Structure 1
Amino acid sequence: MISSAYAATEAAAHAGPFYTEAHFWVNVAFLLVIGLAWRPVARAIAAALDARSAKIKARIDEALRLREEAQELLATYQRKQRDAMREAEEIIAHAKAEAERLSRQAAQDLEQQMKRREQMALDRIAQAEAQALREVQNAAVDVAIGAATRVIGDTLTPAQRGKLVDESIKVLPGKLN
């Protein structure tokens, strides 16, 4: 029953032309409001999207700029690091060469010093030998003079001694020149 009553109201409702129906005018008004509101809303949405797009593009550009700066800084620091490593290697090589040179120089200086000390020792030994020889000669002369004095004193008479002294005095001026 309800279905026959509903069908009857439906038939009565559709009895007139479609533009006389309230649903039609509500739909037209709705479409008209949507249509009139669409342009400003669409413009606002487009402007907001454009602004957002511009902000995103600016951020991307800034990010790219920062990336390029970072890459330049990285390249600069890598170059500086390479230069520092090269300089450190040069310093090490120079230090090694200097150490080798100083080692050779020290060895040469030590060798020369040892030769000088050896020569000084040989000179001292030669001086000591010469002095010992002089002392031995002086002792031999003193012994010979003492022995000669005793022999002369014991074997010669006072007259012979005087004659020997006189002869020695006469010969002396010829030996001094």
Structure 2
Amino acid sequence: MADILNLLATGADGYAEPAALGLDSYQWVALAMSVLIAVFVWKKVPGMITGGLDSRIADIRAQLDEAKALRAEAEALRAEYAAKIAASEKDAEAMLAGAREEADAILAKAEADSEVMVARRQRMAEDKIAAAERAAIAEVKSRAVTAAAAASRKLIAERHDSAADRKLADEVIGSL
């Protein structure tokens, strides 16, 4: 029996376990962890962590709302330019119809000269329509590119400054 008590007091390997104030090492570790947890609760560390996470969630929601607004604005611009293109096509059709009516009137007025005159007028009208269509399409493309570039520049400038890069790097390092 004395051998068992001696073995328990000295440990399995024959060496004495450290003890102070009547507490063994595992009891000191438990006491230290209890004190550490109590300090964390007293200093409101869990509240600070959840507050930081809540603020980050709010920031992300704000960014998502802003992205939705930008998308809606871009879709509105797209719809506006689609309407302009449709109006340009209707104008082109109206111009073509007008040119054809004018050509028919010239045909009725002068039969001898009519074939040359009609061909020349119709070619001029089609060239004018094609030029107007090219100009309208070029203007729509130019405005769309300008709007997309401005929106992209704004988004990149707002979201990728040096502070955001440092914060992202700190988060990545912290997660490792």
Q: Output the TM-score relative to the length of structure 2.
A: 0.50
- Greater RCO, CA 8 A, separation 6+: 2
Whose radius of gyration is greater, 1 or 2? 1
Which has the larger helix fraction?
1
Q: Output the TM-score relative to the length of structure 1.
A: 0.49
